[in-house]
């Protein structure tokens, strides 16, 4: 259900104010750059952040849906605009976007939009096709390269990069505007209840995982030192970079889209126990395999956490008197999130990532807002810096 909104004017004002605040930080952290580079990067920064803060706003989102539903040509304007933004940014910096496989990028970016345009009008129940489109879009997104990074700005301390913004905005537009997937929640809003949820989830994660990790020898303190005035700007800059460079991307794709679709698919099926059973069996096997391949002596770590999270989901689903499915989806996406962190090289880290995934997904469930899930993600990723902790990889 759509949250109460202040209308177009309020949503645009929110986008303008947030963009202005981020732009001020952008200038502060990049003041050492040549004026020409700042002048070139600034319009892209302002435009992409304004779109990020306004594209998913409820009233503007509904208006855009109505506008693009009238013709195919209108529906393709936005993704084409994003391609122009990316290609012009590369071109202005002397890099060709047409070398090798990168020349196929426009076809890749238009793919989800064109598939969803073939769907009947109005909201359709979640299909397996939706998951196929999701993975066919997400997997290449993690490996696309134009032979050069598209940082904002190219040689400075920006917040994320043009390519990542283009992928995020395409996903929100494709799945939200064209596919009409409800409750993606890709818009900033201030709500005390949501904020309290995010903070207590973060603190609960810190307390639980610090205990587990300290006992296992995975975590140690290097001596707490209160943040000095000199460190505050560094902390702010680091958290902003994590939020827009990592957390927002992952929470949109894993919670706002994947967990959202999976919960709807399970609920609409009416047989949540079947999905729970298959999900448990598949991810238990994957946990065993991951543990065996990474560190056979510690393979019990991801297995134990998989069992605990799925049992917690089963217990909550059994007690639910409303919808059955959201917690099964939460368990599946949490373990999936943990297992894809195998690249960290530590099974304890994989287990902690699964627990963190539960926290992020729970926050999304309670707020229906990707920005608050990304806030928890940012706080978790910043905890080593904030509490002066060291993780043993």
On whether both 208 and 161 belong to a single domain, the answer is no
On whether both 239 and 135 belong to a single domain, the answer is no
On whether both 72 and 165 belong to a single domain, the answer is yes
Give the range of the structural domain holding residue 162, as residue numbers without chain letter.
8-177
Element (H, E) at 213: helix 192-216
Would you state the pLDDT for residue 226? 52
**What DSSP letter does each residue of 241-294 carry, written as one string?**
HHIIIIIHHHHIIIIIIIIHHHHHHHHHHT-HHHHHHHHHHHHHHHHHHHHHHH
Report if residue 41 sits inside a domain.
yes
- Ranges of beta strands (E only) in the chain are 219-221, 389-391
Report if residue 290 sits inside a domain.
yes
Would you state the pLDDT for residue 166? 96
Report if residue 357 sits inside a domain.
yes
On whether both 206 and 306 belong to a single domain, the answer is yes
Among 127, 149, 177, residue at a domain's last position: 177
User: Looking at the DSSP assignment, which residues form a beta bridge with residue 390?
Assistant: 220
On whether both 115 and 26 belong to a single domain, the answer is yes
- Rounded-to-integer distance, Cα 296 and Cα 299, Å: 5
Among 113, 148, 177, residue at a domain's last position: 177
Among 143, 177, 211, residue at a domain's last position: 177
Exposed, middle or buried, 36 (CB in 10 Å: 0-12/13-18/19+)?
Answer: exposed
On whether both 110 and 252 belong to a single domain, the answer is no
Tokens of 362: 């729970």
- Among 201, 214, 138, smallest CA distance to 330 is for 201
- Rounded-to-integer distance, Cα 335 and Cα 328, Å: 11
Average pLDDT per 10 consecutive residues for the chain, totaling 393 residues: 61 94 92 90 96 94 88 92 95 87 89 92 89 95 86 85 95 95 95 96 86 63 54 80 94 97 95 96 95 84 93 93 88 95 78 93 97 96 63 40
On whether both 117 and 158 belong to a single domain, the answer is yes
- Rounded-to-integer distance, Cα 31 and Cα 34, Å: 8
Report if residue 279 sits inside a domain.
yes
On whether both 22 and 171 belong to a single domain, the answer is yes
**Sole residue written with tokens 């287990």:** 351
Residues 6+ apart with CB under 8 A from 148: 90, 93, 95
337: number of Cβ within 10 Å = 23
Would you state the pLDDT for residue 47? 96
Report if residue 3 sits inside a domain.
no
Would you state the pLDDT for residue 71? 84
Report if residue 183 sits inside a domain.
no
Report if residue 392 sits inside a domain.
no
Report if residue 184 sits inside a domain.
no
On whether both 212 and 303 belong to a single domain, the answer is yes
On whether both 362 and 268 belong to a single domain, the answer is yes
Please give the tally of structural domains in the chain.
2
On whether both 197 and 165 belong to a single domain, the answer is no
pTM over 0.85: yes
On whether both 82 and 206 belong to a single domain, the answer is no
Would you state the pLDDT for residue 142? 84
């Amino acid at each position: 259900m759509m949250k109460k909104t202040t209308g177009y004017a309020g949503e645009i004002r929110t986008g303008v104010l947030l963009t202005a605040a981020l732009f001020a930080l952008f200038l502060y952290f990049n003041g050492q750059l040549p004026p020409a580079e700042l002048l070139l990067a600034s319009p892209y920064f302002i435009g992409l952040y304004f779109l990020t803060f306004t594209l998913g706003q409820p009233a503007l989102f509904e208006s855009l849906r109505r506008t693009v539903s009238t013709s195919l040509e209108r529906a393709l304007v936005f993704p084409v605009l994003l391609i122009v933004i990316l290609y012009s940014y590369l071109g202005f910096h002397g890099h060709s976007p047409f070398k090798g496989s990168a020349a196929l990028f426009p076809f890749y970016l238009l793919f989800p939009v064109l598939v969803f345009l073939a769907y009947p009008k109005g909201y359709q129940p979640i299909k397996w096709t939706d998951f196929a489109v999701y993975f066919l879009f997400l997997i290449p997104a993690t490996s696309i390269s134009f032979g050069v990074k598209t940082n904002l700005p190219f040689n400075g301390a920006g917040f994320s990069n043009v390519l990542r913004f283009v992928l995020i905005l395409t996903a929100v537009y494709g799945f939200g505007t064209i596919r009409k997937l409800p409750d993606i929640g890709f818009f900033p809003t201030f709500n005390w209840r949501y904020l309290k949820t995010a903070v207590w989830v973060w603190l609960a994660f810190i307390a639980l995982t610090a205990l587990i990790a300290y006992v296992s020898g995975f975590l140690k303190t290097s001596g707490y030192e209160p943040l000095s005035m000199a460190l505050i700007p560094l902390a702010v800059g680091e958290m902003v970079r994590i939020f827009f460079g990592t957390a927002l991307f992952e929470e949109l794709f894993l919670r706002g889209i994947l967990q959202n679709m999976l919960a709807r698919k399970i609920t609409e099926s009416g047989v949540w126990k079947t999905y729970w059973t298959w999900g448990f069996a598949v991810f238990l096997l994957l946990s065993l395999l991951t543990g065996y391949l990474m560190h056979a002596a510690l393979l019990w770590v991801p297995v134990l956490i998989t069992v605990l999270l799925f049992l917690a989901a089963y217990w909550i689903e059994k007690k639910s008197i409303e919808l059955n499915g959201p917690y099964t989806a939460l368990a599946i996406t949490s373990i999936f999130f943990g297992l894809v962190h195998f690249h960290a090289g530590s099974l304890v880290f994989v287990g902690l990532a699964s627990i963190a995934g539960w926290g992020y997904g729970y926050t999304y469930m309670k707020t229906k807002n990707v920005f608050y899930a990304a806030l928890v993600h940012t706080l978790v990723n910043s905890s080593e810096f904030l509490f002066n902790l060291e993780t043993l990889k």
